Structure 1
Amino acid sequence: MRMHVMELRPGDRVTEDIFNSFGVFVLQRGASLTDEAIVKLVQHGIDYVDVEPPIKDVPSSPNQSLSASLLNLKPKFEGAIDVFETLFLESLANGKFSDEGIDETLKPLMDDLTAQKDVVSLLMMFNHQDEYTYNHSLQVGLLSFYIAVWMGYDQEEAYKIGKAGYLHDMGKCMIPPHILNKPGKLTEEEFEFIKKHTHYGYELILNSTGDETAALVARQHHERDDGTGYPYGLYKEEIHPYARITAVADTYSAMTSKRVYQSKKEQLTTLQELYKLSFGQLSGEAVQALIRHLIPNFIGKKVLLTTGETGHIVMTNHSDFFRPLVKTETRFADLAKEPETAIQEVFM
C-alpha cells in the first residue's frame, strides 16, 4: 500500500527499493522503518513510499515495558522520600538524626537503578510542588549516583556519592518555614539566612553519622568552580569532587522542578543552561556526562511546542543537541532551523 511519508510509523516495512529524484539509493526493499529512516526519507525529498499493510496485533512497545518498570520502582521512591521526611523532622526536633534506616532503603533502590536506562522518565516522576525539599533530596541523590557511574566511579563509590546527594539539603530543617517556602523574592537578609543551611547540614550530618565526606558535600554543594558560590567562595581545586557532582544534580533538579516561587523549566532547556554553566561554574566533566547520557532518552518522548503543536522527538541535531527534530501530525519541525519555536513541555 502506498503511503505519504507523514503517515509512516516506526515498524512499517517498505516493499520496494527507494531512490531519490537524483537516483541516489536511500532505503532497501524489506527495510523496517525507524524514526531515523523516516527522517532520512524527508531529507531526500521523498513524499510517498510503498509499505506492507499494517499488522493489527502489534506487540507492546518498549515504552510500555519501561512504564511498567518505572511503576515498580515508585513504591521504593516513596519509601525513600518517607525516610528523608523522618530524618528531616527528627533533626528539627533533636538536632541530629539516626542513620540506621538510610542504607537499608537507599542501597537496594540504587542497585535497581543500574538497569533503568530511561533516566529522563525516572526524574520526571519527581515533579511535584508538594513537599519539594523531600522529593528534591531523593532526586538529587539518584542523579548524583547516575552521574558518578557515568563518570566511571565504581558502584560502591557511586553509592557514597548518591547518599551524600540524598542528604545534601538536610540543613534546611533549621530554616524557618516562612523563609524556606516563601512564594516571593527573598530579601537580602532572608537569603543570607538560607545560605546557613549549608553549615547546618554539615553539623547535622557529621554529628549524626560521623561521615566527614557527606558533611562536606552538604556544606559545599553551592560552591562554584569560579569562586562565585557560597558559603566560602571556594574555587574548583578547593571543592570536594563529590560536592561538584552533587552541585550539578542539585542545579538540574531545582531548575526542572515546580516550586512555590518559580515554574519548572523544560528539561532540554535546563541541559542547555547547565552546558553554559559548565564553562566556569559547574564541573564540566559532570555536566558532559549528564548531557551525554540524558540526550538519547529524549528520542521518542512526546512534546508540546510553543506553537501549540504536539509531536514526538525523532532525532537530535548534531549541530545543536538541545533543539531536536520533532515529528508533529502534519510536519517535521527542525527546531535548529526554527529559532522562534521551542519545546514547552516534555511528557513521559
Structure 2
Amino acid sequence: MKVHIMELSPGDRLQHDVFNHFGVFVLQQGCELTSDAIVKLMQHGIDYVDIEPQTLNADFPTDPAFRAKPYLNEAVDGFEELFLEALTSGSIDEAKVDRLLEPMISELDTQKDVVSLLLMIGEDDNYTYHHSMQVGMLCYYIASWMGYTREEAYKAGKAGYLIDIGKSKVPQDILTKPGKLTPEEFEEVKRHTEYGHEIILGSTGDELSARVALQHHEREDGSGYPHGLRDKEIHPFAKIAAVADVYSAMTSNRVYRSKQELLSVLRELNSLSFGSLSPEPTQALIRHLLPNFIGKKVMLNSGEMGSIVMTNQSDFFRPLVKTDSRFVDLSKERETSIEEVYL
C-alpha cells in the first residue's frame, strides 16, 4: 500500500526496502517506523513509501506512560499524609516515605518517555502535594542522566520529594494567597527551607535530605536563600532539586499564575543555566527531554493543530511541526509559536 510520507504514522511497517533518488539505501523492508525514521525519510527527500496493510484492533494501544499513573498518584496522596503528619506532629515517618517512593522509582525505571509522563500527570491535586511528587520524579531522572548510581539517584529523588515538607509550618492562607505577597509574607514562605531542614533532620536523621530541603532555593550566583550560598557551597543534589523545582513550578497552574508551555520553559531554564541554576543538571534535563517531544501533538498560536516531527539544530526549542496542510519551521516563522503540547 503506497502512502505519502505526510500520512505515515509511528508503527507503520515498510513493505519494501527504501532507497533515495540517488540509489542510497535508507531503510530496510519490515522496518517498523518510528518518528525518527519518518524524519529520516523526509531528510532523504522521499515522497512515497509502501507500507504493510494494518489490521484494525479493537484494543487500542495505551501509551506506556499511563502504567505509571497509579504509582504517581499514590506518591501524591502519600505526600498529603506526610504533610498533615508534619503539620500536626512536626515529624514524618521515613519508612512511609520509602514505602511510597520505592514502587514509583521501580516503575520510573521502565519509563523512557519522560515528556509523556509529565503530560499525563493530572493537576487536580493540591499544588504542594503534586509538585513534591513531580520534583522527586525529576530529581531521580536527572541524577540518573548525570551518571549517578541507582542508589544515589534514589537518594536524590527522595530528597526532592521532601523539599517542601517545611511548607507544613507556613500558614495556609499565605501559601494559597492569589495576590502578591507582602514582604513579611514572602519572608515567612522563604522559611520553609529551614522548617523542612528541622522536620527531616529531627524526625529521620537523614542529613542529606535535610540539607537538600535547606538549600534547594540557593543559586549559583549567590542570589538564592536562606544563606546566599554560591556554586560549590551548594550540595550537588540541591542543585538538581533546584532545576526540578523550577521546571515543575513553571509548568504547573498556580493560584497566581497559569502554567507555561513545556518547550518555552526549557528555553527559560537554558537561559537560567548561565547564571542562577547549575548548568550540569539543567542541560541534562534539556538534553534528555527534547527527543521526547518528537511525535507529540501541539496547538500553535495560529490555531493550527499538528505534531512535532523534528528538532531544529539551529534552535532546539522551536521545532519543525507538521500540520494537516503544511510543515511549519518555527525557527524561521518567528511569529508562530507553540501554545500547548499534548500527549
Provide the TM-score with structure 2 as the length reference: 0.90
Look up the equivalent residue of 1:253 and give its one-letter code: S
Query: 2:173 aligned with 1:174, yes or no?
Result: no
Alignment of 1:241-260 (within 5 A): 241-260=236-255
Alignment counterpart, residue 276 of structure 2, candidates 277, 281, 298: 281
- Structure 1 segments of 4 or more deviating over 4 A? 1-5, 14-20, 23-46, 58-61
Alignment of 1:206-245 (within 5 A): 206-245=201-240
Look up the equivalent residue of 1:64 and give its one-letter code: P
Look up the equivalent residue of 2:285 and give its one-letter code: L
- Tell me the equivalent position of 1:101: 96
Q: Residue 317 of structure 2 aligns to a residue in which SS?
A: strand
Alignment of 1:28-43 (within 5 A): 35-36=35-36, 38-39=38-39
- Tell me the equivalent position of 1:201: 196
CA contact 1:183–1:261 (8 Å) conserved in 2: yes
- Tell me the equivalent position of 1:76: 71
Query: 2:53 aligned with 1:55, yes or no?
Result: yes
**Residue 91 of structure 1: CA displacement?**
1.1
Q: 1:118 to 1:45 in 2, by over 3 A?
A: closer
Question: Structure 2 stretches of 5 or more lacking a match?
Answer: none
CA contact 1:16–1:50 (8 Å) conserved in 2: no
Between 160-169 and 2-11, the greater mean CA deviation after superposition:
2-11
**Residue 133 of structure 1: CA displacement?**
0.2
Q: Cα deviations across residues 193-244 of structure 1 (Å, max 9, x unaligned)?
A: 1111111111111111111111111111000000001111110111111111
Identity of aligned residues (%): 56
CA contact 1:127–1:258 (8 Å) conserved in 2: no
Q: 1:145 to 1:40 in 2, by over 3 A?
A: closer
| In 1, Cα distance between equivalents of 2:268 and 2:101 | 30
| In 2, Cα distance between equivalents of 1:82 and 1:34 | 36
**Residue 156 of structure 1: CA displacement?**
0.9
Q: 1:56 to 1:157 in 2, by over 3 A?
A: closer
- Tell me the equivalent position of 1:6: 6
| In 1, Cα distance between equivalents of 2:42 and 2:93 | 60
Provide the TM-score with structure 1 as the length reference: 0.89
Q: 1:38 to 1:240 in 2, by over 3 A?
A: closer
Matched residue count: 341
- Tell me the equivalent position of 2:259: 264
Question: Structure 1 stretches of 5 or more lacking a match?
Answer: none
**Residue 321 of structure 1: CA displacement?**
1.4
**Residue 99 of structure 1: CA displacement?**
2.2
- Tell me the equivalent position of 1:135: 130
Q: Residue 320 of structure 2 aligns to a residue in which SS?
A: strand
Q: Residue 298 of structure 2 aligns to a residue in which SS?
A: strand
CA contact 1:222–1:230 (8 Å) conserved in 2: yes
Q: Residue 94 of structure 2 aligns to a residue in which SS?
A: coil
